[in-house]
């Protein structure tokens, strides 16, 4: 608001202005879970996301466990592993109703994870991946196909993986094997049930985001509620699966099942890791939300300096959290907004261009220990 001083007494006048920033970090832990609930879905409710914040809230809205049906187990696994907000998207037929549900999810910008529990058809999973790639602010957590020979070239798991790997695969990750959990159905023939891992994994990701930050790879983390695994992966198999971008869930002696992989389905090395893709999406979303103050401001050097200050302050906090690599902030990121990027022709279009570069930290997948033995002053190396 411009104040007129024509009728004011000559002297010094103070004006208060709204500061440019700081930029708040975007939320990252809300998950969308798409599936068939136990309770009949009304026509008007098909594909409409319903937010729930607990297992009790889910059962109140959709009923309990269904047989068959993996959605309730995924929701229970999500909250049991640390998730706090889930958008349940009820459908009658996953393949037929999926596009309507994904279209509705575009109206919920706080969703950052999308799961399709129990669906292993890559043609259907690609719809979810493409949804995430188009919006660029969310990530698909996909279930691997059940398989007794996971390394066979023509196995269901390898065929599924081959259909999913691409440049857009950076917005998705594949987790395998399935989990064995306590059967909640009273009087069931078996006390143990095999369920897909995606809901549990989404909870692990949400828990890691909350406890450590989105930059921490959601791996080497226990899967709560999992008694065992449908397939016991050995080290040799795991090496091949990891190379193929299939994130294994492992069980080591004396430990609960652990998430033991953090790779996306991208064929590009820069986007190999889940945490790198999600960190960059987090930065992009935070800037999108935090820089709206600049829209319709005069496009001049004062605006450029304000943008530079706000973005630098935000990225400095990101670097200090350990998300960016560098001994100094200057090594970890740069922000450029100047005449070179914004010549008169660009400004005439009503645009201001800001260039940002960041150096995300990657997870230490392989910790190499060189072990040597000392004998009478001489060192003996193994290997």
pLDDT for 111-169, tens place per residue?
999 999 999 999 999 999 999 999 999 999 999 999 999 999 999 999 999 999 998 99
Task: Say what the pLDDT of residue 3 is.
Answer: 64
Report if pTM > 0.85.
Answer: yes
Structure tokens at 23: 């930029």
Q: Are residues 190 and 295 located together in one domain of the fold? A: no
Q: 71, exposed or middle or buried, with CB in 10 Å at 0-12, 13-18, 19+?
A: buried
Strands (E), 232-338: 246-250, 258-259, 333-336
Task: Please compute the mean of the pLDDT values over residues 190-208 and round it to a whole number.
Answer: 96
Instruction: Tell me whether residue 378 is in a domain.
Output: yes
Q: Are residues 338 and 226 located together in one domain of the fold? A: no
* 164 vs 119: CA distance, rounded Å: 13
Structure tokens at 172: 């998705």
Task: Please compute the mean of the pLDDT values over residues 33-43 and round it to a whole number.
Answer: 93
Task: Please compute the mean of the pLDDT values over residues 75-93 and round it to a whole number.
Answer: 96
Domain stops at, among 251, 277, 303: 277
Number of domains in the chain: 2
Task: Say what the pLDDT of residue 86 is.
Answer: 98
Over the Cα atoms of the chain, what is R_g?
25
Q: Are residues 257 and 352 located together in one domain of the fold? A: no
Length of the chain: 383
Q: Are residues 41 and 179 located together in one domain of the fold? A: yes
Instruction: Tell me whether residue 159 is in a domain.
Output: yes
Task: Say what the pLDDT of residue 383 is.
Answer: 47
Instruction: Tell me whether residue 348 is in a domain.
Output: yes
Q: Are residues 229 and 251 located together in one domain of the fold? A: yes
Q: Are residues 247 and 338 located together in one domain of the fold? A: no
Mean pLDDT is lowest, of 64-78, 316-330, 333-347, for 64-78
Q: Are residues 139 and 251 located together in one domain of the fold? A: yes
Residue 237 pLDDT greater than 80, yes or no: yes
> Burial letters for 232-257: b for 16+ Cβ neighbours within 10 Å, e otherwise?
ebeeebbeebbebbbbbbbbeeeeeb
Instruction: Tell me whether residue 296 is in a domain.
Output: yes
For residues 43 and 27, the model is more confident at 43
Q: 121, exposed or middle or buried, with CB in 10 Å at 0-12, 13-18, 19+?
A: middle
Q: Are residues 226 and 322 located together in one domain of the fold? A: no
Task: Say what the pLDDT of residue 95 is.
Answer: 83
Q: Are residues 159 and 299 located together in one domain of the fold? A: no
| Enclosing domain of residue 338 | 291-383
Q: Are residues 92 and 157 located together in one domain of the fold? A: yes
Residue 213 pLDDT greater than 80, yes or no: yes
Residue 318 pLDDT greater than 60, yes or no: yes
Q: Are residues 198 and 80 located together in one domain of the fold? A: yes
* 217 vs 215: CA distance, rounded Å: 6
* 32 vs 83: CA distance, rounded Å: 11
Domain stops at, among 242, 277, 312: 277
Q: Are residues 128 and 263 located together in one domain of the fold? A: yes
Instruction: Tell me whether residue 283 is in a domain.
Output: no
Question: pLDDT for 93-113, tens place per residue?
Answer: 888 899 999 999 999 999 999
What are the phi and psi torsion angles at 102 (to 5°)? -65, -35
Average pLDDT of the residues of the chain: 91
Domain stops at, among 213, 248, 277: 277
């Amino acid at each position: 608001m411009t104040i007129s001083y024509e009728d004011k007494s000559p002297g010094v006048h103070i004006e208060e202005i709204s500061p440019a920033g700081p930029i708040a970090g975007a939320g990252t832990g809300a998950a969308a879970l798409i599936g068939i609930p136990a309770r009949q879905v009304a026509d008007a409710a098909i594909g409409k996301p319903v937010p729930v914040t607990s297992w009790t809230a889910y059962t109140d809205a959709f009923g309990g466990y269904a047989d068959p049906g993996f959605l309730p187990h995924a929701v229970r696994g999500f909250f049991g592993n640390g998730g706090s907000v889930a958008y349940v998207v009820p459908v009658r037929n996953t393949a037929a109703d999926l596009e309507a549900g994904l279209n509705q999810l575009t109206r919920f910008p706080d969703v950052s994870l999308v799961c399709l529990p129990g669906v292993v058809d890559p043609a259907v999973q690609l719809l979810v991946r493409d949804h995430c790639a188009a919006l660029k602010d969310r990530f698909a957590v996909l279930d691997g196909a059940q398989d007794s020979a996971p390394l066979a070239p023509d196995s269901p798991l390898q065929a599924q993986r081959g259909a999913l790997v691409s440049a857009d695969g950076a917005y998705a990750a594949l987790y395998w094997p399935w989990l064995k959990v306590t059967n909640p159905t009273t009087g069931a023939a078996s006390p143990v049930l095999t369920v897909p891992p995606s809901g549990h994994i989404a909870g692990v990701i949400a828990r890691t985001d909350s406890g450590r930050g989105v930059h921490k790879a959601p791996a080497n983390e226990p899967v709560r509620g999992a008694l065992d695994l449908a397939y016991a992966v050995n080290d040799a198999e795991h090496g091949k699966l990891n190379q193929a971008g299939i994130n294994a869930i492992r069980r080591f002696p004396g430990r609960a099942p652990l998430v033991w992989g953090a790779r996306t389905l991208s064929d590009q090395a820069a986007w190999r890791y889940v945490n790198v893709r999600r960190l960059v999406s987090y930065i992009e979303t935070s800037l999108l939300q935090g820089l709206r103050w600049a829209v319709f401001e005069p496009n001049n050097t004062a605006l450029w300096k304000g943008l530079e200050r706000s973005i630098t302050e935000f990225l400095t906090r990101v670097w200090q959290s350990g998300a960016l690599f560098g001994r100094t902030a200057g090594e970890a990121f740069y922000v450029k907004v100047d005449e070179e990027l914004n010549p008169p022709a660009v400004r005439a279009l009503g645009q201001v261009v800001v260039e940002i570069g960041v150096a995300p930290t990657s997870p230490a997948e392989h910790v190499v220990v060189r072990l040597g033995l000392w004998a009478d002053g001489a060192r003996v190396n193994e290997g």
